[in-house]
Structure 1
Amino acid sequence: MKTTTLLTRLALSTLLGLSLAAHAEQESLRLGIEASYPPFAYKSQNNELQGFDYDIGEALCAQMKVSCQWKEIEFDGLIPSLKVRKIDAAISSVSITDERKRSVDFTHSYYRIPAKLVTRQGNGIEQIPQQLNGKRVGVQRGTNFDRYATEQFAPLGAEIVRYGTQNEVFLDLLAGRLDASLAGMVAIEEGLFKQAEGAAFHFVGPDYSEERYFGYGAGMAVRKNDPLGQRLNDALAAIKANGTYDSIRKKYFSIDISGN
């Protein structure tokens, strides 16, 4: 009788421990982010993460009653890190494309902004894409901008130069080592036009929003068939309904980027 009681207590204790461990695991969400893409994700002077993507992630975690654990990863390493379970989701301006959907699932889009080509004024690039022949076009490696430039600009004679971050692209553009860059419109406005030398640059050509390249807006990437995707969708809908999303949006943008 005593042996049976002891075994029962041990079993209950084990089950309780497993339950608490599972609960603790559920209360922490590992989120991947590339922190060199202002105003979506960047570092403060105190080396702290901030930006639109970061604030949205924190709001989603608060809505889901879990704690965010942010993991900084270069953009082209986000989906590989997700697939090998180093992170649970990527919240880092990842465009929802058919190609990416073959390897990961996405939540609903949480913003949508067109891509633009930026050049220094007076450098002779006005007719796009014809006048890109022989020009150096900088892109962030592994992005939809990289794919578009590679498939559309390179065959016409442009040299596509790839970088780990968009900030590196802007530095070489300012230094004259690049002739143009293809990137998100807001990223260019924030990361280049607002710099002291930014007045020397301007947009040329059309808005780029072709869905087969630029997808259906930016979403949060999760592993295939992971229920986390639906939980994030529910939380996103909730923060849009209660005004949190719009409050965060107004902190960074004067225009509606929700894509609704």
Structure 2
Amino acid sequence: MKKLMFSLSVAAALIASTAHAQPVVRIGTLADYAPFEYKDATGKLQGMEIEIGQKMCASLKVTCQWVTMDFDALIPALKAHQIDAVLAQMSKTPEREKSVDFTRIFTTAPVQLVARKGSNINQMPATLRGKTIGVQTASTHESYLRTRLPSSSSGINVKVYQTLDEAWLDLESGRVDAVFADSTVAYDWLSKTGQKEGFDFAGRPINDAEIFGAGTAIAVRKGDSKLRGQFDLAIDQVHGNGTFSTVNKRYFPFSILPK
């Protein structure tokens, strides 16, 4: 009888524990997009978005389960129900909104070219004719070059990379003349490596709201208004209570908080 009572007590405890367990939200992200998301020397996922994402999940009383993959696999994985959301510096654009729903804007940052100092490369198309520009695959930067400056008319060669780390290496070695990326990740590379090797921002930021959108946001499946609403509230909270700004200052000397 004692054994039976003990077994029943254990079973009841397990049921109670399960009933009070926090829901799990599977968040698709990257492992190679410093300083927003990357793996440290021990293999642990780190970065500004990971840090703030954990705080948002805590405020929502859910458990974040981070799932890393290549950028071009994120939306297909979301649509296939392999993940529940995407937090990976994904720009909220009209084209992507055909496939997924987005929260309110989470971060903002201009896009810019990076090239060797003295190269005379800038945002003007004439300076890019005959040059090879590196971009990350499936990015808005690739879309901009192929849509606004097709090679057939601009004379610009586009070289696509799975990760920006590969693009930076080719820029250093001279296999590409410039890299086109968000100013945030470009600043991170320049401050750690690029400026010491003679590289810097080339020209002014390039604006195109139709292609680059108004900023980055969290993506959820089409019609998942509940999760989108929860993340909207969490974004409002970290934006409003100073959490975002505090973390922002540890990564950048400029604000990427939406205005």
Amino acid at match of 1:134: G
Which of 104, 110, 114 is matched with 1:114 structurally?
110
Q: Deviations over 1:183-209 (max 9, x none)?
A: 011211112342166441122222123
What is the 5 A alignment of 1:39-50? 39-50=35-46
Distance 1:85 1:22 in 2: 23
How far did residue 256 of structure 1 move? 1.6
Deviation by residue 1:38-69 (Cα, 9 ceiling, x = unmatched): 11111111111111111121111111111110
Match of 1:29 among 21, 25, 28: 25
Partner of 2:127: 131
Tell me what 2:231 maps to.
Answer: 232
Question: Residue in 2 aligned with 1:4?
Answer: none
- Quick check: 232-241 or 209-218, which moved more? 232-241
In structure 2, how many angstroms separate the alpha carbons of the residues matched to 1:33 and 1:48?
Answer: 13
Instruction: Report % sequence identity.
Output: 38
- Counterparts in 2 of 1:243 and 1:176: CA distance versus 1, 3 Å: same
Q: Within the alignment, does 1:243 sit opposite 2:239 as a pair?
A: no
Q: Is the 8 A contact 2:112 2:180 kept in 1?
A: yes
Matched with 1:256 is 255
- The code of the aligned residue for 1:139 comes to V
Q: What secondary structure is seen at the aligned counterpart in 2 of 1:195?
A: helix
1:101 aligns with 2:100: no
1:203 aligns with 2:212: no
Shift of 1:238: 1.7
Residues 202-248 of structure 1: CA distance to partner in whole angstroms, max 9, x if unpaired? 22222123110110100000001101000000111122232222222
Determine which of 204, 208, 220 is the counterpart of 1:222.
Answer: 220
The one-letter code of the counterpart of 1:69 is: Q
2:114 touches 2:200 (CA, 8 Å); kept in 1?
Answer: yes
Cα gap change, 1:22 to 1:87, in 2 (>3 Å): farther
Q: Secondary structure at the match of 2:218?
A: strand
Give the corresponding residue for 1:151.
Answer: 147
Q: What are the ranges of 5 or more consecutive residues in structure 1 without an aligned counterpart? A: 1-16
Residue 131 of structure 1: CA displacement? Answer: 2.0
| TM-superposed deviation, 1:35 | 1.6
Equivalent residue pairs, number? 244
Residue 49 (structure 2) aligns with: 53
The letter of the residue matching 1:90 is V
Which runs of 5 or more residues in structure 2 are unaligned? 1-14
Letter in 1 for 2:106: Y
127 and 58 in structure 1: CA distance in 2 versus 1, 3 angstrom threshold: closer
Deviation at 1:85, TM superposition (A): 0.6
Provide the aligned C-alpha RMSD in A. Answer: 2.1
TM-score by length of 1: 0.87
Following superposition, which runs of at least 4 residues in structure 1 exceed 3 angstroms of deviation?
19-24, 196-199
SS in 1 for 2:235: helix
Structure 1 residues 151 and 193 mapped into 2: Cα distance closer, same or farther (>3 Å)?
farther
SS in 2 for 1:173: helix
Range moving further from structure 2, 238-247 or 33-42: 238-247
